[in-house]
Structures are given as structure tokens and as C-alpha cells.
């Protein structure tokens, strides 16, 4: 069994395609298929069920894939360190894979990726957008270099957490809402106002509730939703108010479908952070990407949104924003 066979199998599963994995490794599709077959013979188990279209992993294949990511990353990091010997000035090469919740991925990663590719043209970068529990799973299983989440969980002892930035959150409503024309309001003006809320099991909802309690305000929850995009839509359509990360509503504020309501004493932020496995060192390329992220803690949110819009196109076609 060769390391290349492990990498071919891993990339076949990651890309869900024999042909794309073969192209990445500079081989024919037939050679990639034979490589996986040789691996199955070595393990004496069937890893992929080819009788179905598209193919599916067997239980053994899924277990092998889940454990393989961390092993391959450790191997690549070791090779990278031995070859480079830690010398400064050596060209950074390799592939970086990051997992992110939707709201962070769509708001920040396109800009960060562009900066990374300009700074390190010899390296490549890709990212996966997922719900928070999936980001944690991918990091723990080693299928990505690190993850980007909101409200990072410090209790997971297998993971190392690095705080990145505290993202401003604002109170928004449809321009038709009665509060929209009142200018700056006092917290008491929110009493019994209809709130488009996040689901009660989400950390973002719990932090909003804490802030309202500190202001001695009780609002009337009209609907509970589990993602940012749904909360935005409900605030626009149903004319309720909502608390949302400012960067995620820049398009709506610019178009006039939502308006910001200034409220005395209201200071809400959403902490964003990076999670990585403690027992798996980052490759040189991944370390450089993380360094770039950490150096960009302070953002001009409007400029970021404009750059992201330029790369992503119409935001209405984007997936729902997930929250932790």
C-alpha cells in the first residue's frame, strides 16, 4: 500500500468523483479506480459501492475516510517541515482546506482567499460551508485544516480555540415598521414589540436574551427561526424587528428593504473564532492562511461586503446563513 493510494481514495470521496480525483493526481480515471481497488484488496474490505450512481461509501469506507484525513494532514505537514527545514523565504506550497459556518464563509472567506492567493501564489485554497456541528465534526476528524465558527465552544478539550473578532450586531426592521420612523429609541420602546427571534437552543438567541434582560426589556416573540437568512426574510416580510450581525444585512440596508434602528444602551456583538485540533500540527500553508486571518481582525464591513458581492454575485442565491 502506498501513500498515493490513500490520497487517491481520499480525494475520490472528497470530490465525489473518480474522474476529478484522477485529474488532480495526473492519472487516468481507470488508474484511479484501480488504485482504490488495490487499497480495498490490501484492507480486505469493500470501501466504495460502485453499483450505485453516484457511488456510495460502505460503512467501512466511511470509517476509513473519516480517520484518514488527519493522518494524511500529519504526513503532509511532516514532509513539508522536513523539506523546508523551517527556512524563511522558501516558497509556500500545498493545499489549504477550511470549514466555515455559512455567514462567516460568505462574508469573509472570499476576501481572505483572494489575499492569500496573491501573497502565496504557490499554494491553493478551498473551503466548505456547513452548519456549526458539521464544522466541528470536520475539524475533529481532520478532514479540514481548521474551522471558522461563531461563539466557539471552549469546552471541547480536543480542540484549540483562537478568538478572531467581535462582529457588531444591530437591530433592524422593515421601513414600514412603526419604530423605523422614530429615530433613536430608548430600550423601553422595545417592550412587547414583535421580535423575529432565533431558535431558543441557539447561542445567538441566548446572548440576545441576556442583553434584553440586562436592559430590563421584554419583547414578544412572533416566530423562532434557526438561521440568519430566514430571520432576515421574516423581518422584511412580516415587519417584525430582529437582531442580526451587521455585515449579513449590508445588502438589505443598502437596498432599503431593511433599516437600522438605533437603540440607547444596546451593544451586541457576535464573537467569531478559529478552531483546530490540538494533536495535529498545521501545514506551512495552513499556518500562513491562519496568520493572514488573524492579522485581519479589523474590517471595514461595507468594503468587505462590496468585495464579497463582486465575487459571489447575487446574494439572494446564497445558502441560508447558519448560526452557532
Whether 213 is in a domain gets the answer yes
**Looking at the predicted structure, is the pLDDT value of residue 92 above 50?**
yes
Give the mean pLDDT of 1-20: 87
Q: Which helix (H) or strand (E) holds 171?
A: strand 159-173
Q: Which residue has the higher pLDDT, 74 or 261?
A: 261
**Looking at the predicted structure, is the pLDDT value of residue 217 above 90?**
yes
Give the mean pLDDT of 240-252: 93
pLDDT tier at 297, thresholds 50, 70, 90: confident
| pLDDT tens digits, one per residue of 151-203 | 999 899 889 999 999 999 999 999 999 999 888 999 999 999 999 999 999 99
Q: What is the CATH number of the domain that holds 43?
A: 1.10.10.10
**Looking at the predicted structure, is the pLDDT value of residue 319 above 50?**
no
DSSP codes, 81-144? HHHHTT-TTPPP-EEEEEEE-HHHHHHTHHHHHHHHHHH-TTEEEEEEE--HHHHHHHHHHTSS
Whether 288 is in a domain gets the answer no
Domain that holds residue 236: 168-270
Whether 128 is in a domain gets the answer no
Whether 263 is in a domain gets the answer yes
pLDDT tier at 323, thresholds 50, 70, 90: very low
Answer whether 158's CB lies under 8 Å from 277's CB. yes
Whether 203 is in a domain gets the answer yes
Q: What is the predicted pLDDT for the residue at 292?
A: 94
Domain count for the chain = 2
Q: What is the CATH number of the domain that holds 172?
A: 3.40.190.10
Whether 143 is in a domain gets the answer no
Amino acid at each position: 500500500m502506498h501513500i498515493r493510494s490513500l490520497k487517491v481514495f481520499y480525494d475520490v470521496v472528497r470530490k465525489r468523483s473518480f474522474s476529478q480525483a484522477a485529474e488532480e493526481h495526473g492519472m487516468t480515471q481507470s488508474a484511479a479506480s484501480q488504485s482504490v481497488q488495490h487499497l480495498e484488496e490490501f484492507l480486505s474490505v469493500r470501501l466504495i459501492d460502485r453499483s450505485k450512481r453516484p457511488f456510495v461509501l460502505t460503512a467501512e469506507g466511511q470509517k476509513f475516510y473519516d480517520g484518514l484525513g488527519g493522518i494524511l494532514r500529519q504526513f503532509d505537514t511532516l514532509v513539508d517541515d522536513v523539506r523546508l527545514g523551517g527556512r524563511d523565504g522558501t516558497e509556500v506550497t500545498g493545499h489549504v482546506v477550511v470549514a466555515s459556518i455559512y455567514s462567516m464563509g460568505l462574508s469573509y472567506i472570499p476576501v481572505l482567499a483572494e489575499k492569500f492567493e496573491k501573497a502565496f501564489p504557490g499554494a491553493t485554497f478551498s473551503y466548505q460551508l456547513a452548519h456549526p456541528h458539521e464544522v466541528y465534526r470536520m475539524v475533529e476528524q481532520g478532514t479540514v485544516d481548521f474551522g471558522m465558527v461563531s461563539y466557539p465552544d471552549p469546552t471541547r478539550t480536543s480542540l484549540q480555540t483562537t478568538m478572531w473578532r467581535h462582529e457588531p450586531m444591530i437591530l433592524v426592521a422593515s421601513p414600514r415598521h412603526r419604530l423605523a420612523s422614530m429615530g433613536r429609541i430608548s430600550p423601553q420602546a422595545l417592550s412587547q414589540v414583535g421580535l423575529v427571534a432565533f431558535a431558543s437552543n441557539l447561542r445567538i438567541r441566548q446572548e440576545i436574551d441576556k442583553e434584553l434582560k440586562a436592559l430590563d426589556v421584554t419583547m414578544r416573540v412572533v416566530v423562532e427561526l434557526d438561521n440568519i437568512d430566514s430571520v432576515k426574510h421574516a423581518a422584511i416580510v412580516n415587519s417584525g424587528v430582529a437582531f442580526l450581525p451587521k455585515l449579513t444585512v449590508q445588502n438589505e440596508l443598502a437596498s432599503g428593504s431593511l433599516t437600522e434602528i438605533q437603540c440607547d444602551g444596546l451593544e451586541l456583538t457576535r464573537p467569531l473564532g478559529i478552531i483546530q485540533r490540538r494533536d495535529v500540527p498545521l501545514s506551512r500553508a495552513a499556518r500562513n492562511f491562519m496568520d493572514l486571518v488573524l492579522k485581519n481582525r479589523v474590517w471595514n464591513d461595507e468594503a468587505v461586503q462590496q468585495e464579497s458581492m463582486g465575487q459571489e454575485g447575487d446574494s439572494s442565491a446564497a445558502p441560508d446563513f447558519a448560526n452557532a
